Amino acid sequence: MSVNLKGYIFHIDANSAYLSWEAVERLKEGSKLDLRKIPSVVGGDPKKRKGIVLAKSYPAKKYKIQTGESLYIALQKCPDLVIVPPRYEVFTKYSNQLVYLLNDYTNLIERYSIDEVFVDVTGALTKHTDPILLADEIRNRIEDELGFTVSIGVSTNKLLAKMATDLRKPNFTNTLFKDELDKMWKLPVNKLFMCGSRTTPKLNKIGIETIGDLAHSDKSIIKKLLKSHGELIWNYANGIDYSDVHTSRPMAKGMGNSTTISHDVGDRIEANMILLALCEFVSKRLRDSNCYCQLVSVHVKYNDFISKSAQRKLYIQTNSTNIIYSEALKLLDSIWTGTPIRQIGIRTSEITTDSRYQYNMFDTRDYKKEKDLDNAIDRMRNKYGNNTISRACFVNSNYKPMIGGVGEDGDFMMMNSHL
């Protein structure tokens, strides 16, 4: 390929990331069994009602086991299925190794999720280098040096690169250039990025079955049907995407934590305790990153899977455990019908890095005292661990004083849904 004026974007996706990484780690630890070669999944703990498939091996895929489905169903499909718990520290380690290797080529890397990156390789291509050969080299190096495989999508924008990756898996380089749109137009419309389970039936209803059908449809009709989201996916179906490779992560818009409790909770004291533990976790995350929030929202899912949420904008910006908890308590009270609760979540948003205290004359709270208290507790927790200091109400309970996070420490990279 000759000198190009347009840029080349790679989308790199670790194949069955959690499962592969766990398999590689176990081999390194001396295990003789390669989880990738048998029907296996990484999954949560069903006793804690977190028993879903997080990642599956290719042999497990042959049994039609799907990511997100319950382990109960997965075991019905394959009774010999091997289930291993997630180790998020391990996943983070391999994700970092991937990015470290890519730094040999360019630093224009966007970490889209723990197992996906976008790379702008335009500058990494010398004038006689074919992007496909470069992708193959990267793939081979990852396999040889890190022990797992990736698929790489090659195109000129992020959307097409991402769509390319899924064309063949695992361990392939796929291109999807503007003159190759047929490759994705053949696919059912739900394979299009951002065309999910609610949008697909709406499109099917007006006769749109494939990505090509959408691409060739009347944009104004799609826009009328799906508003701005319609315009977005119509553009995507036509390969149109002008988003940049974002090399630095923008400041978080919100921070939240939630938990599915191992049993349904009907008792207010117990629910309040869980809420407090969640508030402890979220507010410490805010403080650790020197952030303050101005909006607090509480979300519950009842045991019938009906969800409710309530939010309130505060007059102040805060990261104080006590202030956030007192708001969260009021919000929980406002939505709780008494139906037993399965899941509770708290979320803080409207985040800034400096706080302006706008005192309300009816507000008698001693902000300095709250701050000193949080700081003292944080110092203890940073030194001796999160569970070493605890509010009195947790002492003889079954709950840890901080709840949240998917890993042990909860320090785990997450992702966006937009390019």
Q: CA–CA separation, 43 vs 51, rounded Å?
A: 6
Per-residue contact string for residues 88-127; x = within reach of DNA by CB under 7 A: ------------------------xxxxx-----------
> Is 116 noted as a catalytic residue in this protein?
yes
Candidate residues 252, 373, 389, 393; the one interacting with DNA per rule CB under 7 A: 252
Q: How many Å apart are CA 279 and CA 324, to the nearest integer?
A: 7
Question: At residue 254, what are phi and psi to the nearest 5 degrees?
Answer: -160, 160
CB of 289 to DNA, least distance (A): 10
| Binding residue (CB under 7 A) for DNA from 128, 205, 368, 418 | 418
Is 410 a residue that touches DNA (CB under 7 A)?
A: yes
Complex with DNA: residue 18 or 125, whichever CB lies closer = 18
**Cα separation values, 363 from 279, 318, 323, 366, Å:** 21, 14, 11, 9
Q: Does residue 406 interact with DNA by CB under 7 A? A: yes
> Would you count residue 337 as binding DNA (CB under 7 A)?
no
With tokens 């250039």, the residue in question is: 177
Stretch that binds DNA, among 33-41, 93-101, 139-147, 302-310 (CB under 7 A): 302-310
Among 312, 365, 371, 391, binds DNA (CB under 7 A): 312
Binding track over 37-76 against DNA, x by CB under 7 A: -------x-xx-xxxx-x-------------x-xxxx---
**Could you give the angle at the alpha carbon of 252 between the alpha carbons of 159 and 276, nearest 5°?**
130
Under the binding rule (CB under 7 A), the answer on residue 295 touching DNA is yes
Whole-angstrom CA distances from 207 to 189, 211, 218 are 11, 12, 12
Select which of 22, 25, 110, 116 is catalytic. 116
Residue 308 binds DNA (CB under 7 A): yes
Q: Does 397 bind DNA (CB under 7 A)?
A: no
Place of tokens 């990156």: 117
Q: Considering only residues 2, 197, 248, 396, which one is a binding residue for DNA as defined by CB under 7 A?
A: 197
Chain CA centroid to CA 233, Å = 21
Q: How far is CA 91 from CA 113, 282, 412, in A?
A: 11, 22, 9
Annotate each residue in 132-171 with x if it binds DNA (CB under 7 A) or - if it does not, as one string.
Answer: ----------------------------------------
Based on the shown chain and the rule CB under 7 A, indicate whether residue 183 belongs to the binding site for DNA: no
Q: Which residues sit opposite 292 in a β-bridge?
A: 352
The answer for 207, left when phi > 0, alpha when psi is -120 to 50, beta otherwise, is: left
The footprint of DNA on this chain (CB under 7 A) covers a number of residues equal to 65
